[in-house]
Structure 1
Amino acid sequence: MEAQHEQTEMDGGLGTSRRCDPALLATGEEGGAADMDPRTVDGVVDPNPDGDPVGDPMERFNTDGRESTGRINLRKNIRMATWNVRTLHQAGKLSNVLREMERCDINVLGVAETHWTGSGFFTTTDREMVVYSGGETHRAGVAVILSQSAARSMLSYKAVSDRILLVRIMASPFSIYLIQVYAPTADAPDEEVERFYEQVQQLLQECPSQDIAMVMGDFNAKVGAVRLEDDVCGPYGLGTPNERRERLVEFCQDNGLFITNTAFKHHERRRYTWLSPGGRYRNQIDYILISKRWGKFVTNCRSYPGPDCGSDHNMVGANLRLKIKKCGRSKRRTSLNLEALESQTVRETYNIEVHNRFEALNLLQEERTPDEFSAAFTEAIKAAAKKVLGKAPRKPNHPWISQDTLDLIDERRKLKTERNTGSGELLYRDVDKQVQREARKDKARWLEEQCAEMEQGLGGNSSLRKSYSIIKKLRRGFQPKQRNIKSEDNRVLTDLQSILQRWKQYCEQLYKDNTPRSDPDDEQDTPSEEAGDAPFPEILESEVEHAIKRLPKNKAAGVDDLPGELLKTDNPAITKALCCLCNKILKTGEWPTDWVRSVFITIPKKTGTTDCSEHRTIALITHASKILLRILLKRMEGVADTEFAEEQMGFRKKVGTRDQIFNVRILMEKARESNVNLYMAFIDYKKAFDSVRHKTLWKVMERMGVSNYIVNSLRQLYRHQQAAVRVEDELSDWFEVTKGVRQGCLVSPICFNFYSEAVMRESAGELSWIGVNISGRTINNLRFADDIGLIATSPERLQELLDLVNTVSMEYSLEISTKKTKVMATTKQPTVLKIYCQGVLLEQVPIFKYLGAIIDESAGSSREISARLGAARTALSSLETIWKDRALQISTKLRVLKALVWPVVTYGCEAWTLHAKDTQKIQAFEMKCYRKLLRVSWTEHRTNNSVLEELGIQRTLLNMVKRRKLQYFGHVTRAQNISTHILQGKICGTRSRGRPRRRWGDDIKEWTGRSLAECTQRAKDREGWRKLVLKATMVPDPQDEDGTR
């Protein structure tokens, strides 16, 4: 047994069969000279320890007739292996496998039975690349792990199913086309087995002719030790063939593959890959297959019983005479130590360095073009930051698995060779259970540490942002990366260059203006005045200083890779330089190249999608350009406030989504109370922001009174703008953007509002007599940016209004989506609407989600309240890790509850009309949250009062809703805008007999004990209304929403 133990240690790495590890000789861990002999296996001398091919089998294997002999330069060898680990869906299992992979010096490891769901790839803390493919349930699953040295060699991957994964790896002299598989078991239906082999067959047919095709994994087939008349197996198989052998051999013959671990002469201990429970049977069912054409590259292949992860399978490894190459990709962007700027001393040193570099460059005195000025400015700041701040320190790698658990894993591995004995098997299982138990404890301990760090931040002892980052990580769980997309002809693209080219093609087509020009004068985009001749008020340093302060922190940089934090250091030199540059741009009309370029980041709208249209694109622009854009925006706001109709509440000051939700609900409520029928159409445009025609936009802005110098400056920006798509730190080629407002640009929202305002003036404005009349004011539309609701009092008028809006929208290149546009009727009697758009009958819906809130045709709020509570339950469940942590203080859990769950409930609550049942639901949900915090089960039959007493608080959620609604009443009363008019106005009609339905204002009267007229008068006094709200909601301390400190 001792000899067996020592040999198992020596078998840890691939290739150690040739010579012993010098490190082991130096430490003297091996028992004696006899035990060191690499030819000894289980006490028996192996006559062929190197696994050299013998005789006829390799003559067929190496199709060119050459024999692979002699010692190989290990620096030009790569080691590939496959291993059925039985599961990776277990605490500590991946760390265990990665540790064995490193110990055995494996470059590429294929894994079967991961039991992971979904597909994608991620990088571990030690920078190994893990690519995986799973199903919807925790069964089957395959993965390929690339070592740190091989991680950047992955060219592409394709997740086919939970049994098949393709990974293409760059190597020299040829790339490797690797397919990792996990075949159905022997008792699986024949149809499932055939489907599996057909899918692998299809992948092999797509293999580039110059690539080395390899298929490896658990095939659940025994080729056996008997050599039959075929050319796919060598004489060194193991065991008796089973019924699945025939299908595997047939598959190999069809594709010219050879089973490499049957071609090398090894002891049986180095051939078996699976050990039956109790150690009675040893079978060979895991294989590495390679194309016969490339067989000469394989120098050795065998199983390795030494590595252990608690599986009943052995690792199967092969040495290949290849060299892995890193893909020729762009250099990673350098991260600066921006946190150092929090130190006053460092910040002053940085400011001095920037000033000195500006002086050395004579930046403000020399005549430079805006492009040259910007380049010199950027380089000077980055050089100063690199010198003073240095690189950001690499985050320390603190694996959550403890050293004690790793020691147990080593102990279990040493016991693996004794599993064939009764006592040895029991001892091995006992240690295996200890490993699993300790790994779970380690993970729980790590979670407690994360929660403690989060608690420090929430308590003000460290970074609040870091605390919420931890919460987000615990809440979202594991999020793999995905990059594969489909081409125009619906083929899945897997290699990075093809993906970059496809994204460029898609975005270029999306942002290209193909609209035919009917007006000959429209062909030339000529400014009303030349940019250099247009008079403009110069930009002041105070404007630049204000814009710099408004720059957000912790935002990704644009193409110049200049973080915004480097500008926010209260540095007069930076302020003067930017002021000079901005004035140069307005004077010359020339924008720096980096300032007109945007970098698109793609984000899938749903997990696993490969369709480009099902992705969102987020644009990154340079932070320095935001200074000028912020100033131009500020100068346009005055014109916007006078030109935009009150019905438009998108991207405007002092109004938001809650105001428009309130307007819709109150209009519907008042119309229903007065027996006036309302018919609404909720319009959805197809990519509205991306469809704006630039030339039309400039004409609209000039017509509405925007200063010529601002229009001309933006015209020059849009005329030269370019974009590229970033995928995994790689940029596509640059392309021009000729349509749509600029993504990520501060002035884009207001520009779109100008555009939308022109559409509505020419459509709804022309039919101003259509709509609902409330106290002498007719309202026929309510808008929030591109979310438009049309309102009429009859189906015919709604149709007329929609037709005109559609006609004008088409003239402005905005297309209404007939699939997403819905209509609704608010009537007491059931009504069937037949409203058409572009010849398509629009869908009539009883409820519609408008700006995140559910609008009900009955004008009630109960459905919306139920939906919000349902969303809050989901948010509550996503934080289960935090609620279960007994080490966290209750006060911390309450803060997390208020910060992340309560806002989900209260969104849009200002527009609710609360009934008794709604109040009960809110209170019941609140108590459910408190019980979850205390881990109180309903079976304990504890009263609500006892739960509240233990927490030391009172119920607050309903009071929070009341307080927000009362505060909003005061806000609307004092605002004197369209919301005030809707709230205080009346719709002409006849109320029905009997008790009226509960109205929005009834809540105000009930909670304050005053009439609406009294409340309206009282609300004009802000301080007096505030005291009344506090009294009505019984909140003793306005600084603490849960009544406790």
Structure 2
Amino acid sequence: MYEARKTNQVIREMEIYNMEILWISECRWNGQGMIRHASGATICFSGQESGHYRGVALIINKKITKTLIDWEPINARIIRARFNSKYTKLTIIQCYAPTEDHCDEDKDTFYSTLEETVRKTPKHDVMVVMGDMNAKIGINNTGRERVMGKEGLGKMMNDNGERFADFCMENDLIIGGSIFKHKDIHKETWVSPTGKTKNQIDHITINRKWRTSLQDVKAKRGADVGSDHHLLASQIKLKLRKTSNKKPEILFTTQRLRDPVTRNIFEINLKNSFEVLEELPTEDIESGWTKFKQAFKETSSLVLGQKKKAWKTWMTSKSWNLIEERKKLKQEILSRKENFMRDNTYKRKNKQVKKSVKEDKQQFFEEQAKEAEKSSQQRRSRYITVYKITKSLIGSYQINSSSTVKGKDGTRITKQEEVSKRWKEHFQVYKRQSLT
């Protein structure tokens, strides 16, 4: 996701596959925070302080953003988020485990931190631990039948596989990729650059108490963002619920009133609604205002329609067409049972995508700079226009203040209620210091 506009491509695939929550291993973003994407999706990430490697993230669909209760960036390999649902809470822990050739000390540290994160999870929650575990589990489940089936890929476990399976045994987690019967091509989650090695190293697990909620785990080879990993999708039967019952304000397409015909229809419908209201008895001012407002809303909905926010991006149709061509090319290569990562045609197409996206980005910033310069010379609207341009460039990617607030003990606070309380304490102390 560190490459120019790779995030746009990832979110587009997320929308195509109708995914509500998407978790990313090795996002390569620095720092920790929460951002709002132009599509309306929310991205929480946890990465290194410097150096674009490792890093984990989650992308939450706009429709279910309000189900997020809180989230916690543990380190550059682990991130946790908790969601509200109808019957219970859902906790998801996303991981990026050390590779097989890492030293034992790194692996021990990773699983020790992961164990601590799991222990903090409330016992009644549906808990899902998932991510790039770099673990080959194979088909031999002897001694581990309680948490593992025989539908894994390969014959042997590697060291990471042993550690991962033992971790699942200790925490009573079912390995989803080992219990659902699929073809091997739908179990493979990673392809080596040479194309000779295909492994199942990405995994999705769920606590055994909620095993029946996990409907399926399957690799989606059709998804393409130029990665050597396939999209691993799972279906969990759980109805998420908003943390707040406050309904968002409905916006209407008022621009249609500029058309004389539409404006005339709107006026006639509104006049008819008011005539009906005049005949109805009004008990008090409040009920009268409610009926008056309802008449406006019903007329606006009927004539104007609701305003729909479009996902605006500076990527041109040329770049999106190249991305679509690359995706089709990948599917064509896979249908021939060949490795797309070694195919020269795919490599060239991937380079074309990267080049085109970089050119789009450069062109966009140049156009915005020219528009800002032009607007600064105008007296009336210069500040408004420059502000809008600045906001369009950085506003959607501003780090949420809730991700950087810390308590008195130095621990990071992610719950909105606790963040507000902490800010109140801060300003009370600041006010007392100012008075003295």
Instruction: Tell me: CA distance 1:408–1:447, structure 2 relative to 1, closer, same or farther (3 Å).
Output: same
Question: 2 CA distance for matches of 1:254 and 1:190?
Answer: 19
Aligned to 2:233: 317
Question: 1 CA distance for matches of 2:395 and 2:234?
Answer: 39
Give the alignment of 1:793-832 within 5 angstroms: 814=436
Aligned to 1:237: 152
Aligned to 1:756: none
2:330 to 399, 416, 424: 416
Identical-pair percentage: 30
Q: What value does the CA root-mean-square deviation take over the aligned residues? A: 3.4
Aligned to 1:108: 21
Aligned to 1:1037: none
Question: 1 CA distance for matches of 2:20 and 2:395?
Answer: 31
Aligned to 2:371: 453
2:401 to 465, 477, 482: 482
Question: 2 CA distance for matches of 1:494 and 1:458?
Answer: 39
The AA in structure 1 aligned to 2:345 is L
Alignment of 1:436 with 2:354, yes or no, is: yes
Give the alignment of 1:736-747 within 5 angstroms: none
Aligned to 1:259: 175
Instruction: Tell me: CA distance 1:482–1:235, structure 2 relative to 1, closer, same or farther (3 Å).
Output: farther
Aligned to 1:496: 416
Question: 2 CA distance for matches of 1:496 and 1:227?
Answer: 43
Alignment of 1:126 with 2:39, yes or no, is: yes
Aligned to 2:115: 201
Partner SS, residue 179 of structure 1: strand
Question: 2 CA distance for matches of 1:476 and 1:95?
Answer: 16
Aligned to 1:187: 101
Question: 2 CA distance for matches of 1:181 and 1:400?
Answer: 31
The AA in structure 1 aligned to 2:142 is L
Instruction: Tell me: CA distance 1:105–1:422, structure 2 relative to 1, closer, same or farther (3 Å).
Output: closer
Aligned to 1:328: 244
Question: 1 CA distance for matches of 2:157 and 2:116?
Answer: 26
Question: 1 CA distance for matches of 2:409 and 2:317?
Answer: 52
Give the alignment of 1:820-969 within 5 angstroms: none
Mapped contact 1:220–1:286 kept (Cα < 8 A): yes
Structure 2, unmatched stretches of 5+, are 254-284, 298-303
Question: 1 CA distance for matches of 2:238 and 2:395?
Answer: 40
Name the stretch that deviates more: 103-112 or 394-403.
Answer: 394-403
The AA in structure 1 aligned to 2:54 is A
The AA in structure 2 aligned to 1:265 is K
Residues 280-336 of structure 1 deviation map (CA, whole Å, 9 limit, x = unaligned): 221000000111111110111111111111001011111111112122154457899
The AA in structure 1 aligned to 2:318 is D
Residues 883-929 of structure 1 deviation map (CA, whole Å, 9 limit, x = unaligned): xxxxxxxxxxxxxxxxxxxxxxxxxxxxxxxxxxxxxxxxxxxxxxx
Instruction: Tell me: CA distance 1:412–1:94, structure 2 relative to 1, closer, same or farther (3 Å).
Output: same
Aligned to 2:136: 222
Aligned to 2:278: none
Partner SS, residue 205 of structure 2: strand
Question: 1 CA distance for matches of 2:379 and 2:252?
Answer: 24
Name the stretch that deviates more: 433-442 or 398-407.
Answer: 398-407
The AA in structure 2 aligned to 1:458 is S
Instruction: Tell me: CA distance 1:293–1:333, structure 2 relative to 1, closer, same or farther (3 Å).
Output: same
Instruction: Tell me: CA distance 1:336–1:294, structure 2 relative to 1, closer, same or farther (3 Å).
Output: closer
Mapped contact 2:36–2:398 kept (Cα < 8 A): no
Give how far 1:271 is off. Answer: 0.4
Give how far 1:186 is off. Answer: 1.4
Give the alignment of 1:432-831 within 5 angstroms: 432-460=350-378, 463-469=381-387, 470-471=389-390, 478-484=397-403, 485-487=405-407, 492-504=412-424, 506=425, 511=428, 687=430, 690-691=431-432, 814=436
Instruction: Tell me: CA distance 1:187–1:401, structure 2 relative to 1, closer, same or farther (3 Å).
Output: same
Residues 366-393 of structure 1 deviation map (CA, whole Å, 9 limit, x = unaligned): xxxxxxxxx99xx9xxx8xx99xx9997
Give how far 1:210 is off. Answer: 1.7
Aligned to 2:257: none
Mapped contact 1:278–1:425 kept (Cα < 8 A): no
Instruction: Tell me: CA distance 1:102–1:396, structure 2 relative to 1, closer, same or farther (3 Å).
Output: closer
Instruction: Tell me: CA distance 1:392–1:149, structure 2 relative to 1, closer, same or farther (3 Å).
Output: closer
Instruction: Tell me: CA distance 1:486–1:458, structure 2 relative to 1, closer, same or farther (3 Å).
Output: closer
Higher relative contact order (CA 8 A, sep 6+): 2
Give how far 1:490 is off. Answer: 5.4
Aligned to 1:303: 219
Mapped contact 1:227–1:234 kept (Cα < 8 A): yes
Give how far 1:691 is off. Answer: 2.6
Residues 934-961 of structure 1 deviation map (CA, whole Å, 9 limit, x = unaligned): xxxxxxxxxxxxxxxxxxxxxxxxxxxx
Instruction: Tell me: CA distance 1:443–1:392, structure 2 relative to 1, closer, same or farther (3 Å).
Output: farther
Give the alignment of 1:51-200 within 5 angstroms: 88-136=1-49, 137-200=51-114
Instruction: Tell me: CA distance 1:425–1:486, structure 2 relative to 1, closer, same or farther (3 Å).
Output: same
Give how far 1:395 is off. Answer: 6.6
Mapped contact 1:278–1:421 kept (Cα < 8 A): no
Aligned to 2:279: none
Count of aligned positions? 388
Mapped contact 1:272–1:282 kept (Cα < 8 A): yes
Alignment of 1:212 with 2:126, yes or no, is: yes
Question: 2 CA distance for matches of 1:159 and 1:204?
Answer: 14
Question: 2 CA distance for matches of 1:303 and 1:288?
Answer: 11
Instruction: Tell me: CA distance 1:489–1:336, structure 2 relative to 1, closer, same or farther (3 Å).
Output: farther
Mapped contact 2:132–2:202 kept (Cα < 8 A): yes
Residues 964-1019 of structure 1 deviation map (CA, whole Å, 9 limit, x = unaligned): xxxxxxxxxxxxxxxxxxxxxxxxxxxxxxxxxxxxxxxxxxxxxxxxxxxxxxxx
Give how far 1:477 is off. Answer: 9.9
Instruction: Tell me: CA distance 1:476–1:108, structure 2 relative to 1, closer, same or farther (3 Å).
Output: closer
Mapped contact 2:35–2:396 kept (Cα < 8 A): no
Give how far 1:446 is off. Answer: 1.4
Structure 1, unmatched stretches of 5+, are 1-87, 338-374, 512-612, 614-686, 693-785, 787-812, 815-1045
Aligned to 2:271: none
Partner SS, residue 172 of structure 1: coil
Give how far 1:226 is off. Answer: 2.6
The AA in structure 2 aligned to 1:691 is R
Residues 185-215 of structure 1 deviation map (CA, whole Å, 9 limit, x = unaligned): 1122221111111111111111112211111
Question: 1 CA distance for matches of 2:60 and 2:311?
Answer: 19
TM-score (structure 1 length as normaliser): 0.35
Question: 2 CA distance for matches of 1:147 and 1:100?
Answer: 12
Residues 141-169 of structure 1 deviation map (CA, whole Å, 9 limit, x = unaligned): 11111112212211101011111111111
Instruction: Tell me: CA distance 1:287–1:464, structure 2 relative to 1, closer, same or farther (3 Å).
Output: same
2:314 to 387, 400, 403: 400
Give how far 1:476 is off. Answer: 9.3
Question: 2 CA distance for matches of 1:262 and 1:431?
Answer: 35
Instruction: Tell me: CA distance 1:141–1:408, structure 2 relative to 1, closer, same or farther (3 Å).
Output: same
Aligned to 2:191: 275
Give the alignment of 1:965-1044 within 5 angstroms: none
Displaced runs of 4 or more, over 6 A: 333-337, 390-395
The AA in structure 2 aligned to 1:414 is K
Give how far 1:451 is off. Answer: 1.6
The AA in structure 1 aligned to 2:338 is T
Mapped contact 2:47–2:77 kept (Cα < 8 A): yes
Residues 27-51 of structure 1 deviation map (CA, whole Å, 9 limit, x = unaligned): xxxxxxxxxxxxxxxxxxxxxxxxx
Aligned to 1:13: none
Partner SS, residue 312 of structure 1: coil
Question: 2 CA distance for matches of 1:489 and 1:500?
Answer: 16
Question: 2 CA distance for matches of 1:92 and 1:301?
Answer: 28
Mapped contact 2:39–2:310 kept (Cα < 8 A): no
TM-score (structure 2 length as normaliser): 0.80
Residues 733-776 of structure 1 deviation map (CA, whole Å, 9 limit, x = unaligned): xxxxxxxxxxxxxxxxxxxxxxxxxxxxxxxxxxxxxxxxxxxx
